[in-house]
Structure 1
Amino acid sequence: MDVINPVMWSVHVGFAILWVGSVLFVTLAVLPPALRGDVGSDALGSVVGRLRWITRIAAVAFVLSGGHMAGTLYTFEALTGTPRGHLVLTMLGLWFVGTGLVEVAGSKLADGLDAGKLREPARDAKPFLYGASAVSVGLIVTAGLLASPTMI
């Protein structure tokens, strides 16, 4: 029995759930009180730090697990010439964009918090967190399409 494939799928999906949930949580539950100044800067700094670490650790997990899955399930021609391959490449592109948006938002928040500010860095990070949230929803939709045997 091949054990590595289910392990890779589990790692990939588990980190996807963790990352998407973390991005949406910070955007929907943490950012609004930060914009109002209702969150302590230490608490916000801790949440932002954890989001950045989750993003970075997930990046490693996605490269390893996604690389394994792509390498065992697709040829270059299948990735570039089939609808399923296009969905895989779409996921890769969305993930790169989402990771970048989280890193920019986290940097804006961390820099502002280090300067003793709260509302201004939250405002500066807001469009990047909104963008990362939209991208994360796009990733879930794309994953759903890939998982659907009748769709493609």
Structure 2
Amino acid sequence: MIVFSLVLWVKTFGFPTEDGGPALVPLLWIFWLILLSVAILFFCFSGRIDKDPKRGRIFFLGLGVGLVVVYYFAMDYLGYFISSFLFLATAMYMLSYRKPLTIFLVGTGWVLFSYLIFYKLLYIQLPLGLIEDFL
């Protein structure tokens, strides 16, 4: 993972280097990939890592992957905000969280955070889908 991160880092040399430009986000991801990979290596070689857990229910893994795929394709039609709310609510329910008010507040909080930070502050164009005429 560290070698892969370094290869990606070299690829960013061709990106524009203005403050907050296109090279910033990949560099942040690469930084965290390298840092966390080094931490995992440290824990592996120091012997402070737990044994692998027993095999779980593979059905829920497939269900989770399916949910992510549906979320990806739903973004074009429903838009980022609606599909993110539905994705979070469904994922929380699927992971056995059953408090409707908390599910609603977490989903709504994420949508508001995304709208204010990404859409309004950073001017990142997110797929709007059904609500395109309202924003």
Q: Same fold (TM over 0.5)?
A: no
TM-score when normalising by structure 2: 0.31
Higher relative contact order (CA 8 A, sep 6+): 1
TM-score when normalising by structure 1: 0.28
Please state which structure has a larger fraction of its residues in helix: 1
Q: Pick the structure with greater CA Rg.
A: 2
